[in-house]
Structure formats: C-alpha cells, structure tokens
Amino acid sequence: MDTHAAAVPVQAPLQAGHPDPARLDRLGEIVVRVGLNLARGQELVITAPMDAAPLVRRVTEHAYRAGASLVTCFYSDDESKLARFKYAPDDAFDVASGWLADGIANAFRGNAARLAISGEDPSLLGGQDPDRVARANRANSRVNRPSLELITTFAINWNIVAYATPAWARTVFPGESADIAVGKLWDAIFAASRTDGDDPVAAWAAHNATLAARSQYLNERDFSGLHFRGPGTDLVVGLADGHLWAGGAERAMNGIVCNPNIPTEEVFTTPHRARVDGFVRSTKPLSYQGTLIEDIMVRFQDGRIVEAHASRGESVLTRVLATDEGASRLGEVALVPHSSPISQSGVLFQNTLFDENAASHLAVGQAYTKCLRDTDGQDAATLSARGANTSLIHIDWMIGSGEIDVDAITQGGDHEPLMRGGEWV
C-alpha cells in the first residue's frame, strides 16, 4: 500500500509565493482519490494553465500510483490567448479547434476521466473587444458541446480543482505584493479544499456524508419548487418533473463515485425551464471572461429572463443571455448555507468554482440531466418537456446571503421553511 509520505518528493527549501510541497501533494492525492476516484486502467485527460504544472505533476504521480493507464495534459497559456485578441484577423474569432474537441470527446466516450485545473487570469480579456470575446466563446462552446453533454450527464468521472497562479492572486488580493498574494490565495485554496488535518480523505468522506443527507431529505420530500425572498429578491423556481437533488460525491454512469468539484458546499438540482417567475438580485459579483458583472438584477416570466440589468458589465451580461434560446433560462438551482467556509473567509475569488460555494446560486444555460430520475431512452424533446434546459453555456451566479430566506413548495402548493437567514432550518 502506497503511503502519503512515500509520494512526497525531495524538494528545495520553500520559496516565497510557492505552495508548500506537502500540502500541494495532499491536494494532488485528494484530486485522484476523492475528486476522480480514478479506476485502475483508466485514462486521465487534464486541462491546465501552464503555471499549474507543479500540481499536474503531483496529480500525474498519484494517478499512475492508482493504476492509470495514461495521463495526458493540455496546457493553456494566458499570453498566447491574449495575443489572439490583439493580433488575429477579425474572422478568426468564429473559429475553434474542432479537431481537438473531437479528440477529447472521443477520449471521454472511451471512459477517460476528466480533470480541469482552473487558475487563469480573471481579468485577462477585460480590455478586449467584448464582441470578439463573445464570438470566440460561442465558437468554443459549439465544438465542445459533445464533451459538455458527456460531463453534464455524468457519463464519466470528472473533477475541477484550482491552482493559485500569480495573475489570479493579484486580482483577488490587489493590494498585496505578488508573493504575499499568491501565499494568501494558496492558504484559502488549501483550507477550502480540506487538505489540512491528519486525514484529508476521511475529512472529505465526512463532508460528503453531510451533503448526501441533505440531498436525501430533499429527494424524499419531492418538493415542487423553491421560493427565494430577501432584499431585491422574490423568486419562485419550479423544479423539473422527476428532479433529483445531488451534492458532494456522485456516482457517474460508468459506476465510479467522484466529487466533481473541489471544493464544494452545495446541494443542487434541475429547475423547470418554463416555471420560474419573479425577480432576483445577485449577492456577489460574477467574474466572466475578464469582466466583473456587478449587481445583477433580472426578472423571469414563464421561465425566461425578460429583463436584465447590472450596475457594471451589463453589456456583457446581455451578450451572454443572447447566446442561444436556452441561455436566458435556468439549468441549475443550488442551496449553500451562508456559514459555508468559503463564505466566512470573506474572499471574493472571482472564480466560479469557489464563489458558487459561498452562496446559494442559479445557473443560466445547460441543465444537468443527471439530476432527473428515469432518463434512460428519453430523447431531448422528452427531457425538455420535463423541464431540462439546453444551451451552449452554463454560468453560475450567486443569489444567497445571510438575508435570504428559502421556502420549499410542496406538491400541494403549501410553503415550508427550508432556509432562514441563509441557514438550513
């Protein structure tokens, strides 16, 4: 049996701004054993920013120790991405690497696991033409649609985790030196990812049990909807017919139990695409493709956003909602207590993986059909009739706080308190 100590390589003394090697190794172990639960003989496909190479190496070592047959990483580079927006001809922004997307989708069809390491500069494209950014995103979304469907249906085990890159750290802690900012961001990532303690894997098992108990309660009650109320918010979210709540560890269709997000504090399900009415205000900014969209206020009618405003980034929000017909409808609703560790840290990460776990949230766009019962043999039209939304995008934004109350709506139309002041009743 491999031991944790045996997996830690000999390292030079820790330098300022660099992650502690032992903690980074524990994060790599958590990714493989908890996030992916990688099976012997399984391939692993990784996407990561170039700065995240140290974590990729730790994950790769743990993956091979777990019996992986092959680990392949595709690196991205912020400077190269920015060069495209500065120097490429205008018609280049309607082009995406379909050949690469096809290859990755084929790997997933062959039961390869998927790991995405995030950490890109949130403000990288902030000064670029928003129309070009929107066109490039649409092109990428189109070619990556087959992969997205395999992920949203949980056909395979997958995981998203973060790496504290200098550009991201400077955005989160703008008043600090680069080394201090990176160190602070690493401390926040390690804490939220439960890497510290005598047995991080056991800590994740206990946390997953708590999330599973909440999901089980909600599934047993089979509520028809949720009613969010608070400052600037009075919103009724109908739930899809035969919906399922999920959270923490989930069994993928290939039989492997995985934790898709590290960290995670949410339980979530599929709303009904046509049964959302009322208005809602965001409680945290949304960082999207270099733009910080603040004070989002939208109004829903019959499931569709018919009015949308923001104090900052409104034009970007408008473009996002116009991506396709499903972009202005909901694909996810999630409940997160205000007392979650990420919320209590007080840090705005400007990274959805973390910020969505600080507050209850909604997602416009593609639904997770994993959160529907008895979907075998049902085509897209049938799933849509049950309430599952379809879109090229899936974008989460936060609506929860210590001032938000949530009622569950029973099948008979009665209201029952579910959360008060952002906490579970």
In this structure, the answer to whether residues 186 and 234 fall within a common structural domain is no
Rounded Cα gap, residues 154 and 206, in angstroms: 23
In this structure, the answer to whether residues 301 and 188 fall within a common structural domain is no
Q: How many domains does the chain have?
A: 2
In this structure, the answer to whether residues 115 and 33 fall within a common structural domain is yes
Is residue 410 a part of any domain in this protein?
A: yes
Is residue 28 a part of any domain in this protein?
A: yes
Is residue 215 a part of any domain in this protein?
A: no
Is residue 116 a part of any domain in this protein?
A: yes
CATH code assigned at 96: 3.40.1830.10
In this structure, the answer to whether residues 170 and 232 fall within a common structural domain is no
Is residue 201 a part of any domain in this protein?
A: no
In this structure, the answer to whether residues 401 and 330 fall within a common structural domain is yes
In this structure, the answer to whether residues 185 and 232 fall within a common structural domain is no
Residue 274, token pair as written in the block: 């046509």
In this structure, the answer to whether residues 128 and 84 fall within a common structural domain is yes
Query: What is the tens place of the pLDDT at every residue in 281-295?
Result: 999 999 887 788 999
Give the β-pairing of 225-230 and 43-49. unpaired
Query: What is the tens place of the pLDDT at every residue in 116-165?
Result: 999 999 889 888 998 899 899 889 989 999 998 899 889 999 999 999 99
As beta bridge partners, residue 257 has: 251
Which pLDDT score, from 0 to 100, does residue 366 have? Answer: 93
Which pLDDT score, from 0 to 100, does residue 18 have? Answer: 77
Query: What is the tens place of the pLDDT at every residue in 252-261?
Result: 999 999 999 9
- Residue 9's pLDDT band (boundaries 50, 70, 90)? very low
In this structure, the answer to whether residues 149 and 291 fall within a common structural domain is no
In this structure, the answer to whether residues 289 and 185 fall within a common structural domain is no
In this structure, the answer to whether residues 85 and 176 fall within a common structural domain is yes
Is residue 136 a part of any domain in this protein?
A: yes
DSSP character at residue 117: E
From the number of C-beta atoms within 10 Å of its C-beta (0-12, 13-18, 19+), residue 231 rates as exposed
Is residue 204 a part of any domain in this protein?
A: no
233 three-state secondary structure: strand
**Contacts of 139 by beta carbon, 8 Å cutoff, 6+ apart:** 93, 94, 95, 96
Residue 225, token pair as written in the block: 């909807």
Domain that holds residue 373: 222-245+266-424
Is residue 253 a part of any domain in this protein?
A: no
